[in-house]
Chain A
Amino acid sequence: MKMADGSVILRRNRPGTKAKDFCRWPDEVFEEMDSTLAVQQYIQQLIKRDPANIDLILKMPDAQDEGVWKYEHLRQFCMELNGLAVRLQNECHPETCTQMTATEQWIFLCAAHKTPKECPAIDYTRHTLDGAACLLNSNKYFPSRVSIKESSVAKLGSVCRRVYRIFSHAYYHHRVIFDVFENETHLCRRFTHFVTKYNLMSKDNLIVPILEEDNILDESEA
């Protein structure tokens, strides 16, 4: 993209870039992004601009393939969940949280193993994120980032269900961490709105009380 003075904006983080300047470049219009990673670029650009503006972040551009849109958002969620996992590592120890639980109602089994296993919460978190990274990058199910088979799109729901348990465990067992993280990233709120908007999870499973807070439950039903 040429500027008026003829200089070209290069959106690069060159070595030596200060942390505050990282990815701090003028926004690029989605239609002008010609990269195969345009959707990721666009989503990250929106988040960078204002992570709290969830409606805008989740607003799909016209003529965008919905499967790719959901897929790229889920990649972004899993990536940002690494941040929550790092924080949990300091507090959520296998000795204290021996099982993956949120409310006392369910014990979640870790699906990363050949036979689902009762992993401690922190291992459940790591294994689930690692497994999601493998699945979402799998050449078999997601060979392209510009078009995705319908059968692969169907896999997104189960990934959402599993990674959501990380939010719920943090919310019910490590509330301080959850709040600090949520305050910074609005990630659980964005995730909740995302899965609701695209019907990737049933509302019964959304046990972190966010929709109630936002009072959008009725809206989305309407």
Chain B
Amino acid sequence: MSTTATVIARDERLRRASFLVRAMRRPELGALAGLALVILFFGIYADKSMFTLGGVMTVLAPAAELGILAVAAALLMIGGEFDLSIGSMVALAGLILGVSLAVLHLPFVVALLLTAVCAAALGAVNGTIVIHTRLPSFIVTLAFLFIYRGLSLVGLKWATGGSTQLRGIGDAAGGGFLPGLFSGLAFHPLFTWMAAHDMIQKFPSGEPTVQGVPVSILWFVGFALLATWVLLATRAGNWIFAAGGDANAARNSGVPVAPVKTALFMLTAVSAALVATLQVMNTGSTDALRGEQKEFEAVIAAVIGGCLLTGGYGSAIGAFLGAIIFGMVSIGLTYTHFDSDWFKVFLGGMLLLAVLFNSFIRRKVTGER
């Protein structure tokens, strides 16, 4: 048998992948480069206050809410599907939470669970329809984009007697530990301590200028880290990549593709409910127009983060960075002398660049012939 000979003969073809090639294989490389460019741009043109602690919080707060959606959208995209209904789901979940608290006067725990369960169930409906009809998820969830938005409008008018806004939810939720997880600032004592020791800026009164970290940022970071771990280090992650890479091959190899995809649809819906909860708890109100266009922004952030539109490739950390780029550009322009309406031009350009870069990288590094 000439197996050993074959092996030895092949050995000289073993070329160590250089660090650069290894780095290029990571899908989030483009987002990292993009972030560096954006920071450079604002470093040159923006007012210095953008890069103070306060400025960073101002940029990260909107990035966090979008980012939670973007990370979930990225997982779903890697799994080979889209969900265009997440923006409307934010409004619908906000309505469910708001009505449970302010109209039905349910305890916060119950209202929260009810919202999460409803969102998960609606996500499962999305997933089940997509899987059983084999229609593109794009078109199925586009239908739900309108259905959920319409339901939110109708529901809010019904609950308020004609208005599309429901107020006074914060008071109905009350205080305590659980509502505190979704509203206000975290690490307040730490920031006070740092101010007392002159480590951060403070007012003459001694109060720190930045009182803490908005909880949404913590949710964002936590969710992105968890998603990254699941994607790269667990069995579920392998199944997500496989289901998106080639659903048929994955199924034939023993991956439970349908449950994986359904779970991903449920996850995106629940992440929309989380964003809704954060918004409702921080503003004390809900509005039928909440989350408008967020579905597109989330997809854009995921693509900037390296996700392929065809599925099977991408990263949660990339979507995290994509959302931060998004936040920096949308807020950052107000720190410059540029008209902030350049934002959309910038974003479209960024998206186009990311798509071109992604497809180039895919061909180059993953050897698609």
Partners in one complex: no
Binding site for A on B (CB under 8 A): none
A contacts, CB < 8 Å to B: none
